[in-house]
Amino acid sequence: MKKSLLTLAAFVAVMGAGAVQAGTNVGQWTAGAGVLWTNTDHDRGLDDDFSLSISGGYAMSEKWDFGLNLFAGNHDRVGSIGESTIRGVTFDFNRVFSRDARLSPYILVGAGIVDQFRPGLSVADKEVVSRVGGGAVADLMEFGGGHKLQVRAEAAARTSIGRHITDLTGSVALQVAFGAGGN
């Protein structure tokens, strides 16, 4: 209960943090890192667990951003000993709404490659995936030249094409927006 209240309080503090503009300015680049929760499909035979993620992106226009996401995390095998690593890369296009609001939501669609590696067996199981979801960005602070420290929260479904495996993901990340974008 205390942990839930602390989480709620932190969320309210971040969202109410007096940001004038929440979105990345058009023409700016982003670089970030965070945690990714993966609720694995039952057919994968792995427990749900956390992964680390890094991302980069570019604000292409008032309505569109491009993103590149890399992630990796170990997941225990269900009903047996050992773990597997799920790692991958996705390329996303985000349809941004209200770029200049305090909270800038977006819908994402993307594709990529996921590798479910099983240590000790030297077996890699690569799959092409599609990704659909949504999220939001909020500024934490702005510093010299319009650069920003931002928080990004995102939820998505990552579906393996041809294998009918769908993992649900949720992530929270800090990112820096930098570059030539103007206010």
- pLDDT (tens, 9 = 90+) of the chain, 183 residues, equals 445 444 544 454 444 444 456 678 999 999 999 999 999 988 888 888 999 999 999 999 999 999 999 999 988 888 888 888 899 999 999 999 999 888 999 999 999 999 987 656 555 678 999 999 999 999 999 988 889 999 999 999 999 998 889 999 999 999 999 997 655
Secondary structure letter of residue 43 according to DSSP: G
Rounded-to-10 torsion of CA 146, 147, 153, 157 = 100
Q: Which fold does the domain 2-179 belong to in CATH?
A: Porin (2.40.160)
CB neighbours of 117 closer than 8 A, spacing ≥ 6? 84, 85, 86, 87, 123, 124, 125
175 φ/ψ sector (left φ>0, alpha ψ -120 to 50, else beta) = beta
- Helix and strand numbers, DSSP H then E, in the chain: 1, 8
In sequence order, the β-bridge partners of residue 14 are none
Token pair of 137 as six digits: 């960005």
Quick one: which H or E segment has residue 33?
strand 28-39
Which pTM value belongs to this model?
0.82
